[in-house]
Structure 1
Protein backbone atom coordinates (compact mmCIF):
# COMPACT_ATOMS: atom_id res chain seq x y z
CA UNK A 1 0.00 0.00 0.00
CA UNK A 2 2.78 2.43 0.87
CA UNK A 3 4.53 1.62 -2.38
CA UNK A 4 1.32 2.39 -4.32
CA UNK A 5 1.11 5.83 -2.71
CA UNK A 6 4.78 6.40 -3.41
CA UNK A 7 4.33 5.40 -7.07
CA UNK A 8 1.31 7.69 -7.39
CA UNK A 9 3.24 10.59 -5.87
CA UNK A 10 6.15 9.95 -8.20
CA UNK A 11 3.77 9.96 -11.18
CA UNK A 12 2.28 13.25 -10.01
CA UNK A 13 5.74 14.70 -9.57
CA UNK A 14 6.73 13.58 -13.08
CA UNK A 15 3.57 15.12 -14.55
CA UNK A 16 4.20 18.40 -12.73
CA UNK A 17 7.81 18.37 -13.96
CA UNK A 18 6.59 17.96 -17.57
CA UNK A 19 4.19 20.87 -17.11
CA UNK A 20 6.96 22.99 -15.60
CA UNK A 21 9.25 22.16 -18.52
CA UNK A 22 6.54 23.19 -21.00
CA UNK A 23 6.01 26.48 -19.18
CA UNK A 24 9.75 27.18 -19.12
CA UNK A 25 9.92 26.48 -22.86
CA UNK A 26 7.06 28.91 -23.50
CA UNK A 27 8.80 31.57 -21.41
CA UNK A 28 12.05 31.06 -23.37
CA UNK A 29 10.13 31.34 -26.66
CA UNK A 30 8.46 34.58 -25.55
CA UNK A 31 11.77 36.08 -24.40
CA UNK A 32 13.40 35.06 -27.67
CA UNK A 33 10.60 36.70 -29.64
CA UNK A 34 10.92 39.89 -27.57
CA UNK A 35 14.68 40.02 -28.17
CA UNK A 36 14.18 39.49 -31.89
CA UNK A 37 11.69 42.37 -31.95
CA UNK A 38 14.13 44.62 -30.07
CA UNK A 39 16.91 43.78 -32.55
CA UNK A 40 14.55 44.46 -35.45
CA UNK A 41 13.61 47.88 -34.03
CA UNK A 42 17.26 48.72 -33.30
CA UNK A 43 18.19 47.89 -36.88
CA UNK A 44 15.34 50.04 -38.16
CA UNK A 45 16.46 52.98 -36.02
CA UNK A 46 20.05 52.59 -37.18
CA UNK A 47 18.88 52.64 -40.80
CA UNK A 48 16.87 55.81 -40.12
CA UNK A 49 19.87 57.48 -38.48
CA UNK A 50 22.12 56.37 -41.31
CA UNK A 51 19.78 57.74 -43.96
CA UNK A 52 19.53 61.00 -42.05
CA UNK A 53 23.32 61.25 -41.77
CA UNK A 54 23.71 60.46 -45.48
CA UNK A 55 21.11 63.07 -46.42
CA UNK A 56 22.87 65.64 -44.22
CA UNK A 57 26.21 64.73 -45.75
CA UNK A 58 24.83 65.13 -49.27
CA UNK A 59 23.15 68.44 -48.46
CA UNK A 60 26.10 69.98 -46.59
CA UNK A 61 29.04 68.29 -48.28
CA UNK A 62 30.31 67.25 -44.86
CA UNK A 63 29.05 65.25 -41.93
CA UNK A 64 27.52 67.83 -39.58
CA UNK A 65 26.65 67.39 -35.94
CA UNK A 66 23.08 66.21 -35.67
CA UNK A 67 20.65 68.28 -33.67
CA UNK A 68 17.39 66.93 -32.32
CA UNK A 69 15.57 69.67 -34.22
CA UNK A 70 17.09 68.60 -37.54
CA UNK A 71 16.31 64.99 -36.80
CA UNK A 72 12.75 65.94 -35.84
CA UNK A 73 12.25 67.64 -39.22
CA UNK A 74 13.62 64.58 -40.99
CA UNK A 75 11.33 62.18 -39.10
CA UNK A 76 7.87 63.66 -39.18
CA UNK A 77 6.17 60.95 -37.13
CA UNK A 78 5.87 61.85 -33.42
CA UNK A 79 5.76 58.27 -32.16
CA UNK A 80 8.67 57.16 -34.32
CA UNK A 81 10.70 60.21 -33.32
CA UNK A 82 10.08 59.55 -29.61
CA UNK A 83 11.06 55.89 -30.00
CA UNK A 84 14.17 56.87 -31.94
CA UNK A 85 15.16 59.44 -29.32
CA UNK A 86 14.71 56.82 -26.61
CA UNK A 87 16.84 54.40 -28.64
CA UNK A 88 19.59 57.00 -29.04
CA UNK A 89 19.54 57.76 -25.31
CA UNK A 90 19.82 54.04 -24.51
CA UNK A 91 22.74 53.63 -26.92
CA UNK A 92 24.52 56.61 -25.34
CA UNK A 93 24.06 55.07 -21.89
CA UNK A 94 25.47 51.75 -23.17
CA UNK A 95 28.46 53.55 -24.63
CA UNK A 96 29.23 55.26 -21.33
CA UNK A 97 29.15 52.05 -19.32
Structure 2
Protein backbone atom coordinates (compact mmCIF):
# COMPACT_ATOMS: atom_id res chain seq x y z
CA UNK A 1 0.00 0.00 0.00
CA UNK A 2 1.27 3.45 -0.83
CA UNK A 3 0.36 6.21 1.60
CA UNK A 4 0.10 9.90 0.80
CA UNK A 5 1.52 11.80 3.77
CA UNK A 6 0.90 15.55 3.74
CA UNK A 7 1.33 18.63 5.90
CA UNK A 8 4.99 17.79 6.45
CA UNK A 9 7.36 20.37 7.86
CA UNK A 10 9.92 21.30 5.19
CA UNK A 11 12.80 19.89 7.28
CA UNK A 12 11.30 16.36 7.67
CA UNK A 13 13.71 13.73 6.32
CA UNK A 14 13.41 10.16 5.03
CA UNK A 15 14.89 9.02 8.35
CA UNK A 16 12.14 10.87 10.29
CA UNK A 17 9.41 9.13 8.27
CA UNK A 18 11.20 5.78 8.51
CA UNK A 19 11.23 6.08 12.32
CA UNK A 20 7.57 7.08 12.39
CA UNK A 21 6.24 4.27 10.16
CA UNK A 22 8.55 1.34 11.04
CA UNK A 23 6.63 0.41 14.25
CA UNK A 24 3.66 -0.48 11.99
CA UNK A 25 5.60 -2.71 9.58
CA UNK A 26 8.41 -2.88 7.07
CA UNK A 27 8.73 0.35 5.11
CA UNK A 28 9.50 -0.52 1.49
CA UNK A 29 10.17 3.00 0.25
CA UNK A 30 9.86 6.68 1.12
CA UNK A 31 9.68 9.45 -1.46
CA UNK A 32 9.62 13.02 -0.16
CA UNK A 33 8.57 15.22 -3.07
CA UNK A 34 11.01 18.05 -3.71
CA UNK A 35 10.50 21.31 -5.57
CA UNK A 36 12.65 21.24 -8.70
CA UNK A 37 13.39 24.97 -8.63
CA UNK A 38 14.31 25.38 -4.95
CA UNK A 39 15.35 21.84 -3.97
CA UNK A 40 13.16 22.21 -0.88
CA UNK A 41 10.47 19.76 0.22
CA UNK A 42 6.99 20.48 -1.11
CA UNK A 43 5.50 19.28 2.19
CA UNK A 44 4.27 15.84 1.18
CA UNK A 45 5.62 12.34 0.65
CA UNK A 46 4.70 8.83 -0.41
CA UNK A 47 5.41 5.92 1.92
CA UNK A 48 5.13 2.34 0.68
CA UNK A 49 4.24 -0.14 3.43
CA UNK A 50 2.35 -3.50 3.54
CA UNK A 51 -1.46 -3.12 3.35
CA UNK A 52 -2.39 -4.10 6.92
CA UNK A 53 0.46 -2.00 8.32
CA UNK A 54 -0.65 0.94 6.18
CA UNK A 55 -4.21 0.77 7.45
CA UNK A 56 -2.97 0.71 11.05
CA UNK A 57 -0.59 3.61 10.38
CA UNK A 58 -3.41 5.71 8.91
CA UNK A 59 -5.57 5.01 11.96
CA UNK A 60 -2.83 5.65 14.52
CA UNK A 61 -0.88 8.50 12.94
CA UNK A 62 -3.68 10.68 11.52
CA UNK A 63 -3.22 14.13 13.05
CA UNK A 64 -0.08 13.17 15.01
CA UNK A 65 2.29 16.11 15.45
CA UNK A 66 5.60 15.74 13.59
CA UNK A 67 7.96 18.67 14.01
CA UNK A 68 5.13 21.05 14.87
CA UNK A 69 2.65 20.02 12.15
CA UNK A 70 -0.30 17.59 12.34
CA UNK A 71 0.08 14.84 9.74
CA UNK A 72 -2.57 14.01 7.19
CA UNK A 73 -2.33 10.45 5.89
CA UNK A 74 -4.43 8.67 3.27
CA UNK A 75 -4.07 5.87 0.73
CA UNK A 76 -2.41 7.32 -2.37
CA UNK A 77 -4.57 7.65 -5.45
CA UNK A 78 -3.30 6.11 -8.69
CA UNK A 79 -1.19 8.46 -10.75
CA UNK A 80 -3.29 10.31 -13.32
CA UNK A 81 -2.49 9.65 -16.98
CA UNK A 82 -1.18 12.93 -18.31
CA UNK A 83 -0.43 11.73 -21.83
CA UNK A 84 -3.17 14.11 -22.99
CA UNK A 85 -1.51 17.02 -21.18
CA UNK A 86 -3.95 16.68 -18.28
CA UNK A 87 -6.80 18.12 -20.36
CA UNK A 88 -10.20 17.14 -19.02
CA UNK A 89 -13.01 18.17 -21.38
CA UNK A 90 -16.07 19.73 -19.77
CA UNK A 91 -18.71 17.13 -20.50
CA UNK A 92 -21.45 19.29 -18.99
CA UNK A 93 -21.04 22.08 -21.52
CA UNK A 94 -23.94 22.74 -23.88
CA UNK A 95 -23.16 21.94 -27.48
CA UNK A 96 -24.40 24.11 -30.34
From the CA coordinates, give the structure whose radius of gyration is larger: 1
TM-score (norm 1): 0.27
More helix by share: 1
TM-score (norm 2): 0.27
Higher relative contact order (CA 8 A, sep 6+): 2
More strand by share: 2
